[in-house]
A = this chain, B = another copy of it.
């Protein structure tokens, strides 16, 4: 668990309130799916979340995980990350932040940086529509992949 315990608690609390406010039910399955996503800062995909939650809720089904994540996304409690091709991945950090993306292995890590936060809606985007959020993707090679590359020399 790489996310601080109190932040995990805060995220789970926020879930309960948001569900109640929307008239949705706080089920065991939803709670455990959120707990799983909230604990991780690795932007896990649906399959990983499913496997992890099943350790605690052995009867949960994959489609419930899909449905739960879609519901939570709709409520703004998690965000679907679209930085890599392939399986859907989710992020419980709903605060404004940026991403480092490894183009080799697909690692995604949150980047908090005030300089990047200061990037403002470009004039270049004005003709297309109204900008509501800005995310900077820093693409490159992660430390692990770089090390592996050296080992193969």
Contacts and interface: CB of A to CB of B under 8 A. Distances in A.
Interface of A: 80, 82-85, 88, 98, 100, 102-103, 107, 109, 111-113, 115-116, 119-125, 128-143, 145-146
B103 A132 contact: yes
Nearest to A112: B124
Contact of A116 (B119, B132, B141): B119
Contacts of A142: 128-129
A138 B134 contact: yes
Number of identical protomers: 2
Contacts of A125: 100, 111, 113, 138, 140
10 contacts: A98-B124, A102-B129, A115-B120, A116-B119, A125-B140, A128-B142, A129-B142, A131-B140, A132-B139, A136-B136
Contact of A85 (B88, B107, B122, B138): B88
Interface centre among A80, A129, A139 (most CB of B within 10 A): A129
Contacts of A82: 82-85
